[in-house]
Chains A and B, each alone.
Chain A
Amino acid sequence: MKITEQELRCWVEIDEDLSAIAGKLTSVGLESMVDGDQLDIELTPNRGDCASVLGVARVCAILYGQALPAPRFASFPTLEPSDSVLRLEKDKDIDVLVPFYRACVLSLDTALDAQSLAALLSCLDKMMLTFGIPLFAYDREALSGNIISFKKDKAIELWDGTGRLGVAALKLERAACSVGTQKIVLESAWWLPEAMMGQAHTLNLISEAAYRYERGIDPCLIEGVLAESIERLQALLGPLRLEQQLTWGLKPEAFPRSIILPLEKVSRYLGRDLEASFIKKHLEAIGCLVSAYQEGKILEVQIPSYRHDIMKDIQLIMEIADGIGLDKIPAVQPLLSLSKISDLSMQTSNRRRRFKEKLISSGFQEVIHYSFVHPLWEKALSTIAPLALDNPMSVEKSVMRTTLWGGLLERLSFLQARQQKRLRLFETGRCFLGDREEERWACVMAGRAQPESWQFSRADNNGFDCKGLIQRLFPQRASGLEYLCVEGVYPALAYAIEVRDRQELLCSFGPLAQSHYDLFSLQGSIWLMEGKMSFITEKAHEILVIDLPSKFPKVRRDLSLILPKEKSVLSCLRIIEEEGSSLLVDHCVFDRYTAKNGEESIGVALFFQSKEVTLHDLEVEKSLQAIILALEKKGITLRAI
């Protein structure tokens, strides 16, 4: 809302300049900026009372310790009845929503021309901006049947003898004042906020009047503003006669609102004891009438008619806090105790964090994308129908993702176009699968497997890099994981491999399907991987536990083994793990050779260690022999130790 400096200074005398006034208004919740000689105030929805010059002046008067006199209005001109009498009718429950209504039938000496019509409308606007009371004028002679009636349908409608005139207080479809109008019906009413809320939006009739009605107007000003308007119109349009007054409801002054405020509650909320006299003084300054009961421990506060935002005692407490100054309330640390619940939260968070650290240490950069994506990506990458936004900002952000791959691939394309060829990105975030939301992690690898260097191969990423990554992420489980080829589940991938841990899906990976390269404008070898975060935070916690290192030395024994054609390295390692005692803490394949006849020969390093003692050779040999025996039973030949 904008008001000029001149308008404001008509009401209050303030020595300070506009920017100082803006600063003070901002401090009490009316965020203000100075725009030339105007104050631009961003009103919060609760402060309908400030949607007028008078309202802002009231706040300024409080801030500068002044008493703002009640506005003085002209009185109604003398009634000069005419032959044609307009009747007012309403559905019986309308006064619940509109408790007070007042209209005047005015007769002009000369009919409205274009200039006087503009002056009429401008005058009504001015009254609304000054006092916050919307006024409406329509053509008396365009009403048929000498009747106006208010009927409640979805909104409150205005009718005459012929039919519907329009939506009351929002828009007339006929009978609006125009050039040639000589008799005017000028009306105003006390619409309760709940009568207007949503109507303007639903009917797409958003107006300044609706804005004020939705937030609440000061009903006690209606009559005065109506009378003042008639006097101002006389000055603008020439002599006019008041022919009839139509009204319903009791005068709004008959409905005072009171709130009971226990002082103990004020102290409890603000953390500071306050004198009853201080509270009373401040509440009176904002226009309340205050009576004290029970030795001043309880206050009964009568709320001014313009403060629709004060409905409960806590809102009065806000006013009192404002009176103290929020900065003057002390900052006090609450007493804290350690909570078991937080340990659980911390564990989950740590697991998530540690998992991400592992990805980062493997060279993957964390990225964060929007959760809404292009529908074409979803169509190409997922078999699940995505949820579509009803009001997207653009088609590129119009459906909720069902996989994290879309954002990663789009970003990959963006970065490849900027000469970044070797990329490793990962993301964690929610995917939206119909009624279900699932947190996932995903990564993408593009370009060479290793950074450009004389010592590294120039080979592109391949499936082995994905496997290497999985083994790095889940080292304790690596040799127990199952890798299964699946078809038809992952349209994003040329072929897909699911990695399972005891039947449970840990992640899936594969190369990007050739057909998607054009869609995302991608090039080079691209591999994708995605898994559920719940596996990390709930089930795989033991793999992320930090193991304290042993204080005793580790003993290494190397085995050179020849594997028959039907035995894989994996099966060999499983035998070693199964037969190795608790002393076997790690193993590593450090060499591998495939002979022309298909036999494989591998070099395996076995590491033995105890957490309690330094191992003797005998203990190591015993454990080693058990492994060798088991390997030989399975047809694996020991070439050398």
Chain B
Amino acid sequence: LSDLVPLSTLKTLLVEALSLIERAKDLSSLEQLRVRFLGKKSLISLSLKKLKELSLEERKSTGAELHSIRSSVQDALEEKKKALKTGSSSLLLDWDYHCPVYGEEATFHPLTLTMQRLEDIFFQWGCVMVDGPQIESDYYNFTALNIPENHPSRTMHDTFYIQDRVLRTHTSSVQIHAMREWGAPLRAIAMGPTYRCDSDATHSPMFHQLEALWVDKDLNFANLKGVLQELLELFFERKVNMRLRRSFFPFTEPSAEVDIACVLCEGQGCRTCKQTGWLEILGCGMVHPSVLEHGHIDPACYQGFAFGVGVERLAMLKYGLSDLRLFYENDPRFLRQFFR
């Protein structure tokens, strides 16, 4: 055999054959490949014919190799042929009866569960769900929310830019769209991803926010407190001790941060609450009159309140998690543990 075709050459030929077979697009090209590699005049067939000229010992060792090469090509051809026949798109188009789908356990993402829970609460209160673009104009994200260009309060937001637009840094940008679309009175929520250049165990460059905006003639800060108290108790399904601290948001005045007694240590002090017994949970306030004006609502007739809460933050507290990044690692072994 060695004076005809070296075994190494045949092995190289095998690699080429397998590659070409894999790439064959239809049955006719596959047939051409069969003739080329296994036909009577093919190198493999000719080599097999020459086997009888070898000694018994050589025939045993070389023969086994040669047969193995031929079988590999044959198997590949058969497999490809089967695939082209059964797995081809043309066959697929005709195949139409109900295919049973078996699956392992799967669940909603915990962030989805959290958002659904929030949605349910707000729908009970007759809120409308509104939405806006995630790639937002500077006007809706900042200017209309009383954050003029170059104002230092813009530094509170680590903003991603796309040419002359921004990735919305908060769902508050939906406020103006909602007011212009629905007018007053209004009870609206917006929920979805928001973006800021920040990443660590408690911050993510993309995170989800819930924004609530209520506008009516008689709404006041006491009503805001009432809604927040009930929201938190419905969400955590328990009595929640809440406190408000003065804060600053350009789009609300008066503004406050809301803390709740740590749900993990019952206010006794733990790592999560940094031993304070309190957890910062959301920002809120009465809608700034200039924001109402941008929303084409007369601030002399109407006033309202708004609050924004991080969905990840709520989910972490609800499920007792300390690292926000787990939500975006998307490991089913982690995610499958959340049922409600």
Q: Which residues of A contact B (CB under 8 A)?
A: 26-29, 44-47, 197-199, 201-202, 211, 214-215, 268-272, 309, 312, 314-315, 317-318, 321-322, 326-327, 329-334, 336-339, 341-342, 344-346, 348-349, 353, 356, 359-372, 387-393, 397, 400, 411, 414-415, 418, 420, 422-425, 429-430, 432, 437, 449-451, 456, 462-465, 467-469, 471-472, 478-479, 483-485, 495, 497, 510, 568-570, 573, 588-589, 592, 602
Contact = CB atoms under 8 A, between A and B. Distances in A.
B226 A332 contact: yes
B297 interface: no
Nearest to B99: A468
Interface in B212-238: 214, 216, 218-223, 225-230
Nearest to B289: A314
Contacts of A361: 103, 106
Given A268-B220, A392-B160, A465-B101, A483 B248 contact: no
A331 B103 contact: no
A46 B126 CA distance: 35
Given A270-B222, A451-B103, A485 B96 contact: no
Contact of B126 (A47, A215, A269, A336): A336
A590 to B, nearest CB: 9
Interface in B322-340: 327-333, 335-336
Interface of B: 87, 89-90, 92-109, 111-112, 116, 119, 123, 125-129, 133-135, 149-153, 155-156, 160-163, 167, 182, 187, 192-193, 195, 197, 199, 205-206, 214, 216, 218-223, 225-230, 243-248, 253-256, 286, 288-289, 303, 327-333, 335-336
B99 A366 contact: no
Contacts of A336: 125-126, 187
Contacts of B216: 334
Nearest to A451: B104
Candidate in A214, A390, A451 with the most chain B CB atoms within 10 angstroms: A390
Contacts of A387: 135, 162
15 contacts: A45-B153, A215-B152, A271-B223, A318-B253, A341-B182, A342-B128, A362-B106, A363-B103, A369-B328, A389-B161, A389-B162, A391-B160, A418-B331, A430-B134, A451-B103
Contacts of A430: 134, 192-193
Contact of B226 (A29, A318, A334, A423): A334
Given A47-B248, A432-B134, A463-B92, 20 more contacts: A27-B245, A45-B156, A46-B248, A198-B150, A312-B253, A341-B126, A342-B128, A356-B112, A362-B103, A365-B107, A367-B109, A368-B112, A424-B104, A425-B332, A451-B103, A478-B98, A569-B94, A570-B94, A592-B97, A602-B97
A22 to B, nearest CB: 10
B101 A468 contact: yes
A62 B90 CA distance: 81
A214 B303 contact: no
B93 A331 contact: no
A327 B108 CA distance: 37
A269 B254 contact: yes
Contacts of B155: 45
A269 B220 contact: yes
Nearest to B333: A420
B328 A334 contact: no
B94 A568 contact: yes
B112 A388 contact: no
Candidate in A269, A353, A370, A425 with the most chain B CB atoms within 10 angstroms: A269
Q: Which 8 residue pairs across A and B have the least CB separation, nearest first?
A: A363-B103, A468-B99, A198-B150, A271-B222, A271-B220, A44-B248, A29-B246, A589-B97
